[in-house]
Structure 1
Amino acid sequence: MYREAIYHRPKNNYSYAYDEKRLHIRLKTKKNDVDNVKLIHGDPYDWDGDGWQFSRKDMLLQASDALFDYWIVEITPPFRRLRYGFELQSEDEKLIFTEKGFYETAPTDDNSYYFCFPFLNAADVFMAPEWVKDTVWYQIFPERFANGNPSLNPAGTLPWGSTKPTTTNFFGGDFQGVIDKLDYLVDLGINGIYFTPIFKAHSNHNYDTIDYMEIDPQFGDKETFRLLVTECHKRGIRIMLDAVFNHSGYYFAPFQDVLENQEASAYKDWFHLSEFPIVHTPKPNYDTFAYFGAMPKLNTENPEVKAYLLNVAKYWIEEFDIDGWRLDVANEVDHNFWREFRKAVKQAKSDAYILGEIWHDSMPWLQGDQFDAVMNYPFTNGAIDFFAKDKINASSFANVISKVLTMYPANVNEVSFNLLDSHDTPRILTLAKENKDRVKLLYLFQLSFIGTPCIYYGDEIGMAGGNDPGCRACMEWEVQNQDQDLFQYVKLLIELRKSDSLFGNGGSFRFLHIDNRQNSIVYEKYDKGRRLIFAVNNSEETIKIPIEKLVKAKLGEIEEWIFQEHLSIKKKSTLVKPTSTINIQPLSFRIFEIK
């Protein structure tokens, strides 16, 4: 065995409390190097005349990527404490792996050799809001969703959808428009709305905040927003707002004071200023978001800034009963601020959802003291590259998803924000080169995967659009211009996710079969009682898959889910023989259930 590839570290994503009773323990080994792994485990104080007493439990091969295999086991320590190690078996070797290294036999004379989980303290268990696990989000860019009150239109507002979106034009989307369309969202099956920024700002995207305590007048007033939240809650829809706390806008009053009074400004320490006088063109001489002089970076280490922003975070929860915050550019704000932010938010509403915008490995923010989840861009990029762009093969896709599954603890994965596109990216239909069948495969995978999925407004009816600003077009409300077939398909998948927990966020996920030649994958969702098996053809040719790749050792009668028109699934029983094969049409899938 390649000992240098064997890795475990207590806590984080390799050893963690799944709940107040159960621990999950992972081990990483070189791919295809180890045949099986057992967890050696016991109470640290359990001794008799033969030495330390321990048991063994088989570990499951949870996932594999290009280089490594990942093994996992769930254990319930009787006294909530554990010493543990690993027994690894290959074809010609057996090793014991402990905190102090490798041994041929398991040490019994001194359990300090072993890894330690000192005590499962309930206060240390990562606890995200339960409701998020069953939420299907819908992202709304308020300026482009619906114009319900034309009297609010900013000067120069254009007729709805009359031209392509630019970085500067306005079409009059507002809160009343959203209220008017809530029944549409209910029909689709949505039970969570994520709004991009709604606070007073200069631009049409509102990420350059002028006043964090005021609604942008083009969207309505506070009473209209209160009504919107109330009407959403009546329909079982949660509301998440966008918090732009990394930077303000150029016209934010404290920054304007700095521009006016320069070094004499009482707000000079609210920002990261390197010299005076302050200049914003051609290149700002102060820290900004990227290089945008109109977005000066806030100094969240400053006590006054911190107090101001924490008050903002509490105010919109306490006064309007919002259900969560999405945190823009979250990785560029100091960790201590986010720790205090979490305390303030959870005190205001204990089950509020805190979602960070981070595009890379985010474990430092997911220790239970900062965020509940992050936007799952590794998932997004893998799904887009495989299904939409046909850019990577089946093995590469499986490697990406396996990495996603093992990057974080399971209770983090269950609330990870799984998006396919957004206001920051091209739309999925455009990424798929207008191929609706590829978009359908994207939705199948997203809505049957672990986590909390998000649909970008208009994607469900076939809207297209390139990078910003192309992806921010006005919502298409003329039914004759909507793809109703796609809408009904997405609606059915959402209904399946909500009605069958194994299809949705329940059970575990694993790949059963990966075929690069046919560009196909087989994956399953499973629990102790059932298995759902998804056979997916991501090629443009009809393929055959041996039935044994789907059902493994379980042969006999299985049920196939047949997708019918008008939002229904018909279950058809099939007798499986060892020599059977199944056909899958191009860019299509089949689903089987085994009980």
Structure 2
Amino acid sequence: MYEIVDRERSGGNRFGRYIVRFYTSCVGVKRLYLVSSFTSYIPGRFVMRRSGDICDAWTRLWEGYYPYFFVDSLFDVYEDDNPNKIEMNFLDRRIKASIADVGIERLKRSLEEGGLHPDYIEHVETDPVFLSRYIDKIVIRLRALKNEVRDVDVIAIDYEGGRRIYNMEKFFTDDYYDYFETYVNKDLARYIFTLDLGNKKVFYGYNGFEDTRYIEPRKIFGYPRKTWWIGTIYYLIFPDSFYNADPNNDPPNKISPEIIPRPRGFLGGDLKGVIEKIDHLKKLGIEAIYMTPIHLSPSYHRYDVSDYFSIDPYLGDENDLKRLIEKAHLEDIKIIIDLVPHHASPCIKEMIEILKEGKRSRFWRWFRFIINDLDELDEETRELFREFILKRCEEVPEKLREKKPFYETFLGTWRMINWNHDEEEVINFFRAYVRYWLSLGIDGLRIDVAHGIPDHSIENIFKELRTFGEDKILILEIMNDITNYELGINSVLAMNYDLYNMSLRFFINKEIDAYEYVKSLNKIYSKLPIYTANSLYNLLGSHDTPRIYTVINKDIRLLKIMYTLLFIIYGSPSIYYGDEIGMEGGGDPDNRRAMIWDEKLWNREIYEHIKRLIKLRKKFETLRIGFTRLYPIDRDTLVIKRFLDEESIIGVFTRENIRRRYLVIKPSQIKIKYPEKRFVIDLREGYRVLRHRSSRPRDVEVLL
């Protein structure tokens, strides 16, 4: 079950997110997890705490319908007595999930009854979604129930006593709320809102509606200077598949790169291969390399790490990494490596000691065991597991695969044992990891399965990383609904799988129209701090997705449209190795084929288009750090406007496969100052990118 306990409050009567308690009986169950859309439907973020026969977990949520259920250590699902349920997929089966109505029905009733609802006028100055420092600006946001507030001004006082009034733009309306935004060019000491309600104007201050006391923020989250990770251009490398420059460190029994589809196994790529191919990335225009795990591991993908403080010898050594960092930095390219704090290989040395000492080992509490001690294991399981360890965890014995692991795992595989992030020594272990690798000069970390790790653990990793400077970043892997995570506070950014999934639904599967697509993209933008939105790791492909060229059935026109959108929209575009030359591949592991280095086999049309997009993004700073507005034009067409000061970059995109299509847009539709009543856009390629400056309103420059 669940209960709404309260709402966050700022001042006396300004409300924020709902405080929600989820609870269920846990008699006879060792451990339960809360699973929902706000955990990407993976257990781990919220461990249920036991009090007698009841286990509960608390979280803070905005209004919404949230499917939820409870899962034990073996992924068995526990239903509660909530009568409101839906059927959904979980892992390999269909289950019944309960529905938590967090404020939605009350919100609907408020809309239906009309009038004014001051408790739905929201601004929380301690939340960077509503107040954030962004380079030379301070961004201020407020939201109110739809159509209840006509207009909003901010009266801002700087530290010298100067007073200015800023009008807030209503930049987005969803099913329930109007969203307002403005920015202040000077520093901000205190401020208050004036709300135009149509029949009167009222103040909205520290204590909320009709209060005249100014809001005085104690701390404003954000970044006062431009930094490389806002709007940068990433390139994702899967090291084993990229390039083999050193045959001396090749693994035995390599697989052939000629085998299609690619099987699991080593191809032999290494760090020297990345060093040797830096020139390819420089020529393309890449600004940051993100590499999947490089640590000692029994597998070719290395997500089952057996030593977090060494580099897999099949890839090279620490000196190779240092040389890679040095060469990359000489070319102004940053290096991000993959940290896997959710799970490890059972062949990690701490687990080996546990097998010797059992529960007496100091490391017993470092992992999540289902049994109480090793003596509970039957002899066959003991022997099979010993065989697994002796063979360096490279292959799970067939009979062992038929049994359930005696420890918590990532998605049920014996190869990956889950860390216990409730244990302080585990937190310290990963803080030590951060210190070790950051001291070598890397520029940041990507956190694997971040949606399955408690928030406090991610926060500790982030704090440790930031001791090396604000230019060091933490990228979270979040597979679903990034707006329900503490982005901007306990990390800066995440992989934007929400954009990826919505783009597939709009452009490829055509499950949604442009109105729904824009609404989804606006939801992300409006519910994240501006510096986070402009830093999101945007993708059309990764080591976890089928190749985009295969997904779109080699439709180059559509691929160019989607990549152009990726480079125009808020966030940081990324390229999965080989996607820039039109590589093909299905799901894992076929999406990890050997990189093609024979240029005669490259798709030059794709390659040259991506190079043009990179040059465009580097030329116009508005595309890197500008604000964003999105407008649906019709069911198939949308406009993305990026703007900064007097400049606007306008991207127009359609999924209609019509070669001779001209689109007529009124300037008022996209809110630009253009002296004519309309302008005509050539959309025969499916996209068009334009530049407009308010100082020269008649000129519209075609960029692409």
Both proteins in one fold, TM over 0.5: yes
Query: Contact 2:515–2:632 at 8 Å: present in 1 too?
Result: no
In 2, Cα distance between equivalents of 1:590 and 1:552: 16
Could you list the per-position Cα deviations for residues 203-233 of structure 1 after superposition, in whole angstroms to 9, with x for gaps in the alignment?
1110000111111111112222222221111
Quick one: which of 404, 423, 437 aligns to 1:283? Answer: 404
Aligned to 2:642: 525
User: Quick one: which amino acid aligns to residue 242 of structure 2?
Assistant: F
Quick one: which of 633, 636, 650 aligns to 1:514? Answer: 633
Residue 546 (structure 2) pairs with residue 433 (structure 1): no
Per the alignment, do residues 132 and 395 of structure 1 end up closer, same or farther by CA in structure 2, a change over 3 Å counting?
same
User: Quick one: which amino acid aligns to residue 181 of structure 2?
Assistant: I
Q: How many residues align?
A: 551
Aligned to 1:201: 297
Deviation at 1:448, TM superposition (A): 1.6
Residue 151 (structure 2) pairs with residue 9 (structure 1): no
Residue 62 (structure 2) pairs with residue 62 (structure 1): no
- Structure 1 SS opposite 2:461: helix
- Structure 2 SS opposite 1:381: helix
User: Quick one: which amino acid aligns to residue 595 of structure 2?
Assistant: M
Aligned to 1:265: 361
Could you list the per-position Cα deviations for residues 381-429 of structure 1 after superposition, in whole angstroms to 9, with x for gaps in the alignment?
2223223433321101100110111111112222222222211112222
In 1, Cα distance between equivalents of 2:225 and 2:422: 26
Per the alignment, do residues 526 and 83 of structure 1 end up closer, same or farther by CA in structure 2, a change over 3 Å counting?
closer
Aligned to 1:27: 142
Quick one: which of 242, 264, 267 aligns to 1:145? Answer: 242
Map 1:367-406; keep pairs closer than 5 Å: 367-368=488-489, 370-406=490-526
Per the alignment, do residues 20 and 142 of structure 1 end up closer, same or farther by CA in structure 2, a change over 3 Å counting?
closer
Map 1:325-344; keep pairs closer than 5 Å: 325-344=445-464
In 2, Cα distance between equivalents of 1:396 and 1:358: 22
Per the alignment, do residues 163 and 383 of structure 1 end up closer, same or farther by CA in structure 2, a change over 3 Å counting?
closer
In 2, Cα distance between equivalents of 1:580 and 1:310: 56
In 2, Cα distance between equivalents of 1:240 and 1:462: 24
Query: Contact 1:389–1:431 at 8 Å: present in 2 too?
Result: no
User: Quick one: which amino acid aligns to residue 123 of structure 2?
Assistant: H
Aligned to 2:180: 71
- Structure 1 SS opposite 2:650: strand
Query: Contact 1:284–1:291 at 8 Å: present in 2 too?
Result: yes
Aligned to 1:562: none
Quick one: which of 611, 615, 618 aligns to 1:495? Answer: 615
Aligned to 2:233: 136
In 1, Cα distance between equivalents of 2:164 and 2:287: 45
Query: Contact 2:286–2:333 at 8 Å: present in 1 too?
Result: yes
In 2, Cα distance between equivalents of 1:588 and 1:76: 34
Query: Contact 1:143–1:219 at 8 Å: present in 2 too?
Result: yes
Quick one: which of 124, 148, 156 aligns to 2:253? Answer: 156
- Structure 2 SS opposite 1:71: strand
Query: Contact 1:88–1:97 at 8 Å: present in 2 too?
Result: no
Deviation at 1:470, TM superposition (A): 2.1
Per the alignment, do residues 45 and 218 of structure 1 end up closer, same or farther by CA in structure 2, a change over 3 Å counting?
closer
- Structure 2 SS opposite 1:132: coil
Per the alignment, do residues 41 and 127 of structure 1 end up closer, same or farther by CA in structure 2, a change over 3 Å counting?
closer
Aligned to 1:119: 218
Aligned to 2:5: none
Quick one: which of 558, 578, 585 aligns to 2:684? Answer: 585
Quick one: which of 314, 326, 333 aligns to 1:237? Answer: 333
Q: Percent identity among equivalent residues?
A: 27
In 2, Cα distance between equivalents of 1:493 and 1:252: 44
Aligned to 2:352: 256
Query: Contact 1:62–1:71 at 8 Å: present in 2 too?
Result: yes
Per the alignment, do residues 44 and 152 of structure 1 end up closer, same or farther by CA in structure 2, a change over 3 Å counting?
closer
Per the alignment, do residues 261 and 274 of structure 1 end up closer, same or farther by CA in structure 2, a change over 3 Å counting?
same
In 1, Cα distance between equivalents of 2:671 and 2:130: 30
Query: Contact 2:135–2:224 at 8 Å: present in 1 too?
Result: no
Deviation at 1:93, TM superposition (A): 7.0
Moved more, 472-481 or 25-34: 25-34
Moved more, 584-593 or 224-233: 584-593
Quick one: which of 255, 263, 275 aligns to 1:179? Answer: 275
Tell me the TM-score normalized by structure 1. 0.85
Deviation at 1:95, TM superposition (A): 6.0
Could you list the per-position Cα deviations for residues 290-341 of structure 1 after superposition, in whole angstroms to 9, with x for gaps in the alignment?
22222111123334333332222111121x3111111112233333333332
Q: Unaligned stretches of 5+ in structure 1?
A: 47-52, 557-576
Query: Contact 1:538–1:586 at 8 Å: present in 2 too?
Result: no
In 2, Cα distance between equivalents of 1:61 and 1:132: 28
In 1, Cα distance between equivalents of 2:135 and 2:686: 43
Aligned to 1:449: 569
User: Quick one: which amino acid aligns to residue 534 of structure 1?
Assistant: G
In 2, Cα distance between equivalents of 1:155 and 1:402: 50
Per the alignment, do residues 579 and 185 of structure 1 end up closer, same or farther by CA in structure 2, a change over 3 Å counting?
closer
Query: Contact 2:545–2:588 at 8 Å: present in 1 too?
Result: yes
Could you list the per-position Cα deviations for residues 68-120 of structure 1 after superposition, in whole angstroms to 9, with x for gaps in the alignment?
33111223676x43242341345x676655565655xxx5xxx34x6x33334
Query: Contact 1:421–1:456 at 8 Å: present in 2 too?
Result: yes
Residue 674 (structure 2) pairs with residue 555 (structure 1): yes
Residue 184 (structure 2) pairs with residue 88 (structure 1): no
Query: Contact 2:488–2:532 at 8 Å: present in 1 too?
Result: no
Query: Contact 1:272–1:298 at 8 Å: present in 2 too?
Result: yes
Residue 435 (structure 2) pairs with residue 317 (structure 1): no
Moved more, 133-142 or 483-492: 133-142
Query: Contact 1:201–1:210 at 8 Å: present in 2 too?
Result: yes
Query: Contact 1:288–1:295 at 8 Å: present in 2 too?
Result: yes
- Structure 2 SS opposite 1:398: helix
Tell me the TM-score normalized by structure 2. 0.72
Aligned to 2:79: none
In 1, Cα distance between equivalents of 2:556 and 2:457: 43
User: Quick one: which amino acid aligns to residue 452 of structure 2?
Assistant: E
In 2, Cα distance between equivalents of 1:314 and 1:526: 38
Deviation at 1:366, TM superposition (A): 2.6
Query: Contact 1:66–1:396 at 8 Å: present in 2 too?
Result: no
Query: Contact 2:125–2:217 at 8 Å: present in 1 too?
Result: no
In 2, Cα distance between equivalents of 1:333 and 1:539: 41
Query: Contact 1:537–1:543 at 8 Å: present in 2 too?
Result: no
Q: CA RMSD in A?
A: 2.9
Aligned to 1:304: 425
Quick one: which of 541, 544, 549 aligns to 2:662? Answer: 544
Residue 574 (structure 2) pairs with residue 475 (structure 1): no
In 2, Cα distance between equivalents of 1:128 and 1:311: 29
User: Quick one: which amino acid aligns to residue 305 of structure 1?
Assistant: V
In 2, Cα distance between equivalents of 1:580 and 1:409: 33
Map 1:352-363; keep pairs closer than 5 Å: 352-359=472-479, 360-362=481-483
Per the alignment, do residues 376 and 551 of structure 1 end up closer, same or farther by CA in structure 2, a change over 3 Å counting?
closer
Query: Contact 1:241–1:326 at 8 Å: present in 2 too?
Result: yes
Deviation at 1:492, TM superposition (A): 0.7
Q: Unaligned stretches of 5+ in structure 2?
A: 1-113, 386-399, 697-704
Moved more, 302-311 or 398-407: 302-311
